[in-house]
Chains A and B, each alone.
Chain A
Amino acid sequence: MGSTSSMLTQYDIEEVQDHCDHAFSQQEIVSLYHRFCQLDRNGGGFVSADEFMSVPEFAVNPLSQRLLRMLDGLNFKEFVAFLSAFSPRTSLQQKIEFIFRVYDTDCNGKVAFEDILSILRDLSGSFMTEEQRQKVLTHVLEEAGYTKDSHFTLPDFMKVRSSSFSRSIYSSHKSNQLS
């Protein structure tokens, strides 16, 4: 599946489906493939950062740079695996794991004060001072029983996050876009 030819065989689809743990139906994978080919304008078999940024809706997202680091150079199979976190068929645990990966920029399996601060910086830009950000973060950490020096591993993260899941993240209407 290295090159984006326009023919997708049944074998290819099943391989991709396995790779993403059946997060998507076969029809959805075909649609994603059309989309992948559409984004991959120079036909290199992967979508470059520049090609992602040419989608204005993506470029205006505050976390776009962070996601680009995770998306750059992915081939189609990996692209589908990346998006699988957004499917209604994946478990809550896997979704939280995805969020953890976004936070854990240095990929050391731990999310520290600095990591959360850096996401906060992306989300609030120049509209909060560094001091305000630190203050907010320290405050909520203390309230939840942690300190500035706490490190969150994946299980810790799950404990904090799963206490509130009233909003449906990755709402299923997005998956309707695929079919």
Chain B
Amino acid sequence: MASSSVAADMELDHPNLEDYLPPDSLPQEAPRNLHLRDLLDISPVLTEAAGAIVDDSFTRCFKSNSPEPWNWNIYLFPLWCFGVVIRYGILFPLRSLTLAIGWLAFFAAFFPVHFLLKGQDKLRSKIERKLVEMMCSVFVASWTGVIKYHGPRPSTRPHQVFVANHTSMIDFIILEQMTAFAVIMQKHPGWVGFIQKTILESVGCIWFNRNDLRDREVTARKLREHVQHPDSNPLLIFPEGTCVNNQYTVMFKKGAFELGCAVCPIAIKYNKIFVDAFWNSKKQSFTMHLVRLMTSWAVVCDVWYLEPQYLREGETAIAFAERVRDMIAARAGLKKVPWDGYLKHNRPSPKHTEEKQRIFADSVLRRLEEK
């Protein structure tokens, strides 16, 4: 499957909503009378099912492509071994050291400022923001991040929200290095959770629980409040809701697009030659993911800040989300799929199946009337 031709790939990755059209919409004959053979002919439905078993556009979004091994002959292998020694023996310890020193410096500065300047909120926020930006730069240095930023830097003013495609939690760190964003995140366990609770609170973070449905309204309200407050940091949202492998984008959740303010898209694309930055949270913990990044040569990526978009006349939030997704996908060279990212954890809602059933039932009943 990895060697399928580009042309076949293009055809398959076309938003395959056509697959979900009813069998009736194939080469159309005028609705004719219903015969036994028509009723018995379940082959289109079976073909769709078999097609899904053989290949489907959703699983493709989360496949980490293993890099082609290049160390396969007698000249290249020693070179590769040498590279491994340097990466694991020299670079990794140096980077870990940088990271450790950075963390120490950060904590040494952060906690005193946090507690001593309790009264002077504005000054404290400013310093904490700078500290967070600095810490993110240290992180980026610890994987030798080579990041090119294109486009105008985000400005800190209210009534705007930033959206970006999501490949790994390092997306946040890369963006945070340039501007101290506030972010909306799923609460994580372990040391990541600890950092979320203590440090990210200072730049302003909104927590939510993916699995709690009631949480949605509460979260929507918090988002709105944040965006309207003049002192809060610009808000960064990853509308895909999950990490995708930087070759595809899944559907954007409309929450970020119905806040009644400007939406500034950001496109992020990683260069796979150096390292595949996709974090498959089911396969690896974040720590292992970081270790992998720190033992590669570099993390190279491009970040594009795109033009702020506004909701147009008569456009729904979902259409708006799709339009912004088009922009980001076009800029970063990603393919779009019509699936919701949460399907990684949940089953599709029965209403999709019901829609197909409805179409089938309608066509049968309609042709029966044709007598």
Contacts and interface: CB of A to CB of B under 8 A. Distances in A.
Interface of A: 31-32, 34-35, 38-39, 52-64, 67, 71, 83, 85-86, 95, 98-99, 102-103, 116, 119-120, 123-128, 132, 136-137, 139-141, 143-144, 146, 157, 160-161, 163-164, 167, 169-171, 174, 176-179
Contacts of A127: 354, 357-358, 360-362
B36 A132 contact: no
Contacts of B19: 57
B36 A160 contact: yes
Contacts of B44: 167, 169
Contacts of A71: 53
B50 A56 contact: no
A126 to B, nearest CB: 7
Contact of B51 (A31, A60, A177): A177
A56 B56 contact: yes
B356 interface: yes
A140 B365 CA distance: 12
Nearest to A120: B39
Contacts of B54: 32, 35, 83, 174, 177-178
A148 B368 CA distance: 18
Interface of B: 1-2, 4, 8, 12, 19-20, 26-27, 34-59, 63, 339, 343, 347-348, 352-354, 356-358, 360-362, 364-365, 368
Q: Which of B27, B34, B36, B38 has the most CB of A within 10 A?
A: B36
Q: Which of A125, A169, A176 has the most CB of B within 10 A?
A: A125
A86 B45 CA distance: 12
Contacts of A177: 4, 8, 12, 51, 54-55
A56 B45 contact: no
A99 B45 contact: no
A39 B48 CA distance: 17
A55 B60 CA distance: 10
A33 to B, nearest CB: 10
Nearest to B354: A125
Contacts of A103: 40
A58 B53 contact: yes
Contact of A63 (B2, B46, B339): B46
Contacts of B39: 116, 120, 136-137, 140
A126 B48 CA distance: 21
Contact of B40 (A53, A63, A116, A179): A116
B197 to A, nearest CB: 32
Contacts, number: 171
A35 B55 contact: yes
A56 B343 contact: yes
A141 B34 CA distance: 10
A47 to B, nearest CB: 9
Contacts of B43: 95, 99, 167, 169-170
Given A83-B53, A124-B364, A132-B365, A62 B45 contact: yes
Given A31-B1, A128-B364, A57 B357 contact: no
A160 B37 contact: yes
Contact of B56 (A55, A124, A128, A171): A55
Contact of B26 (A95, A102, A123, A167): A167
Contacts of A54: 347
Given A56-B339, A63-B42, A99-B42, A144 B53 contact: no
Contact of B360 (A38, A64, A123, A157): A123
A161 B112 CA distance: 81
Contacts of B45: 61-63, 123
Contact of B59 (A38, A63, A141, A179): A38
A124 B1 contact: no
A61 B357 contact: no
A70 to B, nearest CB: 11
20 contacts: A32-B54, A56-B58, A56-B339, A56-B347, A62-B360, A67-B46, A95-B43, A123-B361, A125-B357, A126-B354, A126-B357, A127-B354, A127-B360, A128-B364, A137-B39, A140-B34, A163-B37, A170-B46, A174-B47, A174-B54
A143 B46 contact: no
Q: Which of A56, A157, A171, A176 has the most CB of B within 10 A?
A: A56
Contacts of B362: 127
Contact of B1 (A34, A144, A170): A34
A64 B52 CA distance: 11
